[in-house]
Amino acid sequence: MNDISPVLWQFLVKWMTNFALFPPEASRIAPQMDALLFFMVLVSLIGLTVVVLLVTSFSILYSKERHPVAVQVEGSTLLEATWTIIPLGLFLVMFVWGALIYFRVFTPPANAMNIYVVGKQWMWKAEHPGGQHEINSLHVPMGRAVQLTLISQDVFHSFSIPAFRVKREAIPGRYTTVWFEPTVPGTYHLFCTQYCGTSHSQMIGDIVVLTPEGYKKWLAESTSGASLAQNGERLFASLSCAACHNARPNARGPSLANVYGARLPLASGGTVTADEAYLRESILNPSQHVTQGYVPIMPTYQGQISEEGVIALVEYIKNLDSDYRIEQTLNTTDLVPGSEGNAATGQAAQGPAKQGQAGKNSAGQGMVKQ
């Protein structure tokens, strides 16, 4: 057999040995997605076979040699109806089935652990609640629902894990979420699938699924000292948010304890659920979302805090369950060196060009734009 070019030969062997039509099924949703895919492939194959069979058999039966006399047929309403209704029915089945899967992929369960992911040209930066940071890799525990809160710092990126059958765009200026539950330990591909500029094809990484114990071990090893919430607290202090958001009787801002997940009445009327997106928005565009009973005096922090900084703040506010913590930050505010300066000099930072350089290091200070 080696009379074929050895290179090609070796290729063929390699391909035959690990030939696959689908990537590994490593998440809870994967088998469900594949079930639908198989169904659609099946339907398509049947449809294609029907067409091909009809065309070939007609071409043979009614070729000029066999059938020199064409018989003029007008058409048939019955047939028209058949091939209108049957495809439509099949397509509608696919639509409903697909919609159900779409619903599952984008509705995270309540108990899901949340990991923040920031996309920037050209890397993925993951922020674990425990303060662990990763570049172009993501460690997740097996058998645990993991929700990703994605945001891009510059252009559209897309966080794609073929083995999990999930994919979500990280878009600038807004959080998007997706969730998955890894079922098989191992290392899988992470791709950026939305074209994002020169090094698009280098914006790849590994998804590492660990056993629960392994994950614990990894967390312990790769901790950066302070948890995300603690960084947030430091930032909260250095930006002296507590000057207003202290639960004192004369406070100019609402108390933030247990605000996460609450339904807040807006000054503009109507209510809103305080989720990550809302918290982020009210840091960057506070006056858009003033809660009832307060005046829009909060300055915007747009262009002053990097996305990592916002994430830290959001995470801090999420975990804020008592006003006592705020009292603490209030006292520590003046202990943080040069925090006022940072907050002030941030003004200059404008536009994506500057945002690009933000958030290189991840301590509270670094998250304030220099």
Partner 1 sequence: MPDSPAIAHGAPEAAHHEHPPYLRHHFENVEQQADAAGFAMWLFLLTEVMFFGGLFTAYLIYRNWYYRAFVSGSHQLNVYWGTLNTLVLIISSFTMAMGVWCAETRRKSGLVLCLILTFILGLGFLGIKSIEYSEKIEKHHVPGLHYSLQSFLDPDSDAAAKAAGDKPLPLDLARHTEVYFSLYFLMTGMHALHMIIGIGILGFMILRARAGAYTAGHVTFVENFGLYWHFVDIIWIYLFALLYLISRH
Partner 2 sequence: MSEQIEHDEHAHHIVGPAVYVVILIALLVGTALTVWASFIDLGFWNPIIALAIATTKATLVVLFFMHVKYSTKLTKLTVGAGIFTFLTLVSLTLADYISRAWGSW
Partner 3 sequence: MSATIVSLPDQSTARVPKVNYLTKENGLLSWLLTGDHKRIAILYLISLSFFFFIGGALAGLIRLELLTPQTDLMATDTYNKVFTMHGVIMVFFFLVPSVPATLGNFLIPLMIGAKDLALPKINLLSWYLYMAGGLLALYTMMTGGVDTGWTFTTPLSTHYVNTSVLTTGLAVFVAGFSSIFTGLNFIVTIHKMRAPGMTWFRLPLFVWAHYAASILMVLATPVVAIAIVLVALERTIGIGVFDPTKGGDPILFQHLFWFYSHPAVYIMILPGMGVISETISTFSRKRVFGYTAVAFSSVAIAVFGFFVWAHHMFIMGISNYAVLVFSLLTMLVAVPSAIKIFNWTFTLYKGSITFETPMLYTFGFMGLFTIGGLTGVFLGTSGTDIHLTETYFIVAHFHFVMVGGMLMAFLAGIHFWWPKMTGRMYPEKISQLAAVVTFIGFNFTFFPQFILGTLGMPRRYASYPPEFQILNVFSTAGASILGVGYLLPVLYLTWSLKYGAVAGNNPWQATGLEWQIQSPPLTENFTETPIMDHEAYDYEWLENQNKENRNKERQKEKEVTSAG
Residues 285-304 that bind partner 3 (CB under 8 A): 302-303
CB of 45 to partner 2, least distance (A): 34
Give the integer Cα–Cα distance in Å for 117 and 123.
10
In angstroms, the CA 247 to CA 237 distance is: 15
Q: Binding partner 1 by CB under 8 A: which of 87, 299, 341, 356?
A: 299
Asked if 285 is part of the footprint of partner 1 (rule: CB under 8 A), the reply reads yes
Q: Quick one: tokens of 12? A: 């063929």
Residues between 158 and 177 that touch partner 2 (CB under 8 A): 177
* Residue 87 binds to partner 1 (criterion: CB under 8 A): no
Residue from 36, 93, 284, 363 touching partner 1 (CB under 8 A): that is 284
The only residue of 196, 229, 298, 320 in contact with partner 1, by rule CB under 8 A: 298
Binding mask 104-143 for partner 3 (x = CB under 8 A): -xx--------------x----------------------
For the bound state, the minimum distance from the C-beta of residue 286 to partner 1, rounded and expressed in Å, comes to: 6
Supply the minimum distance, in Å, between the C-beta of residue 293 and partner 3: 26
Q: Which does 300 bind (CB under 5 to 8 A by kind): partner 3, partner 2, partner 1, none?
A: partner 1
Q: Cα separation of 346 and 323, whole Å?
A: 28
State yes or no: residue 103 binds partner 2 (CB under 8 A).
yes
Q: Does 300 bind partner 1 (CB under 8 A)?
A: yes
Burial of 156 (0-12, 13-18, 19+ CB in 10 A): middle
Q: Does 57 bind partner 1 (CB under 8 A)?
A: no
Report the residue from 5, 59, 107, 361 that binds partner 2 according to the rule CB under 8 A: 107
- Are residues 195 and 155 in contact, defined by beta-carbon separation less than 8 angstroms? no
Strands 186-192 and 157-161: antiparallel
Q: Are 235 and 368 in contact (CB under 8 A)?
A: yes
The residue with tokens 């002030």 is 344
In the complex, minimum distance from the CB of residue 297 to partner 1, in angstroms, rounded to a whole number: 8
Least Cβ distance, residue 300 to partner 2 (angstroms): 21
Question: Which does residue 217 bind out of partner 2, partner 1, partner 3, none, counting CB within 5 to 8 angstroms by kind?
Answer: none
Contact stretch for partner 1 (CB under 8 A) within 95-103, 164-172, 194-202, 290-298: 290-298
Tally of CB atoms within 10 A around 252: 13
Given phi > 0 = left and psi -120 to 50 = alpha, else beta, which region is 311?
A: alpha
Q: Taking each helix axis from N to C terminus, what angle separates 307-318 and 228-238, rounded to the nearest 10 degrees? A: 100
Cβ(136)–Cβ(167) below 8 Å? no
Q: Which x/- pattern over 141-170 shows residues binding partner 3 (rule: CB under 8 A)?
A: -------------xxx-x-x-xx-xxxxx-
The region that residue 300 occupies, defined by phi over 0 for left and psi between -120 and 50 for alpha, beta otherwise, is beta
| Cβ neighbours, 10 Å, residue 297 | 11
Write down how long the chain is: 370
Among 42, 99, 262, 295, interactor with partner 3 by CB under 8 A: 99
- Determine the Cα–Cα distance for residues 116 and 351; give it in Å rounded to an integer: 22
Is 106 near partner 2 (CB under 8 A)?
yes
Site residues, partner 1 (CB under 8 A): 284-288, 296-300, 302
